[in-house]
Amino acid sequence: MRRLATMALVILISISVAGLMAPQPLKAAKVGIGILIDLSHGQTVGGVVEMMKMIPEANWVVLLSSEADLEVLPDYVKNNAEIRYGGFTSTTLKDVEMVIIGQALRLVTPEEISALVSWFNSTPRAIWVAGDSDYPAQGNEIAQQVVNMVAEAVGSHLRIDYVAVDDTISNAKATYRVVGIVDPDPEVAVLGYGVNVTLFHGPGPLAAVLDNGTWVNPINVKIPNVYIVARTTEGGKINEYQPSAPGAPGMIHQLYSPGDTGVFPLLAVEVLPNGNKIIVSGESPYGGYQSGLTYVYYGVIMQGMRLFRNLVLWATGYCGELLAYKELLEGKEILMDVTEAIQSLRSSLEQLSSSVNSLSSTVSSLQNTVTSIQGTLGDVSNRVTTLENTVKELDSRVSGLEGAAANIMTSLALGGVALILALISLALAFMKKK
């Protein structure tokens, strides 16, 4: 019996060892883009479903603060996203290529900032951090603080100022419902693919910090690798709602003062030295009063969903259709260059034609002048001939006069001799009488 038990034990051990030595199946990598949506800092879910639908290629991860928040998620999110719990940690950020932090209602802890920085600097990553105005509603100055904390921690120049920006020209029936102009800098022109305007419902204006700590408007002061994507019109106007009174709690503006007007940035991107990318927006694609992905608002049609897709594709390097659009842009630029060259050539040809016509006119004028001169020369020749004939006639007359004068002189000479002889005769006769 003991022998049988021993044999059975040996067989079991052999099977276990064989199992350990057998090749283990490799775990396949996830196919899609790992994108995490942060709902762990008080954000609401408005706009999340639309975001997920706009990037069906993604492996979506939704971060909740606890399991108690699960019940607020729409079924679409539950069925199509991996749900993780807690704040930002190395565990919750695993297998994620991009993090999107909508306007937060709770501050991010120093430990979470440290985890984000470690994650961000490990391999090519992208982060989108969205703010709000300082109006005391969703987001407000807490969202602005989170934007600046994260942006500074990852080494970005971008910031959001602690004020609000309206647009008196481009809006959805109220100046705070800003209809932002999507007009990307040339370096990121592909982000404007299929987009003209998008909603920024009560945004805060963006700024940038120079290396010396000075805050500037990045529209007016260009910073390397910082690119504007969306802005107000020249009807932009700054308001400040907090502090509500001098000395009251609240953050003081750093750059823009109440009453300032002009063009203000609403969404910008920065490519950091290691190639990682950060997107900063003055309003949020989700979690705010009205999602930035809104299609139509107070009768204004916008393209926020298309802009969202463009930003994610660009930030993650999964450019997809943006590459084709880039080729179209480049082809358009080439076509514009060719068109400009043709127009320049046409202008040159017109100038040449004008010069030829002018030269032809000059030649015709010269021909007329030559003909006129020839006519004048003919007339002069005729006059010279006439003068020659006149001179000949005068010469003949002079010759005649010379002959007549000679005859006259001869006659006068003979007459003089006769007169002298007569006088001599008279004198002789007179002398004889004496």
Q: What angle do CA 294, 312, 192 make, to 5 degrees?
A: 65
Residue 21: the pLDDT is 42
What does DSSP assign to residue 69?
G
Average of per-residue pLDDT across 244-255: 79
Distance in angstroms (rounded) separating the CA atoms of residues 24 and 265: 53
Question: Is the peptide bond prior to 110 cis by the omega test (within 30 degrees of 0)?
Answer: no
Candidate from 149-153, 319-323, 405-409 with smallest mean pLDDT: 405-409
**Residue-wise DSSP of 229-282:** EEE--TTEEEE--SSSSTTSSSPPPSS--TT-EE--EEEEEEE-TTS-EEEEES
> Are 266 and 189 in contact, with CB atoms under 8 Å apart?
no
User: What are the sequence ranges of the domains in the chain?
Assistant: 30-317
Residue 285's SS3 state is coil
* pTM reported for the whole predicted model: 0.73
pLDDT exceeds 80 at position 404? no
**Residue-wise DSSP of 166-203:** EESSSBSSSTTEEEEEE---GGGGGGGTT-SEEEEESP
> Are 160 and 128 in contact, with CB atoms under 8 Å apart?
no
- Cα-flanking dihedrals φ and ψ of residue 330, to 5°? -65, -40
pLDDT exceeds 80 at position 366? no
Candidate from 163-177, 224-238, 307-321 with smallest mean pLDDT: 307-321
Rounded mean pLDDT of the chain? 86
Instruction: Report percent pLDDT > 70 for the chain.
Output: 83
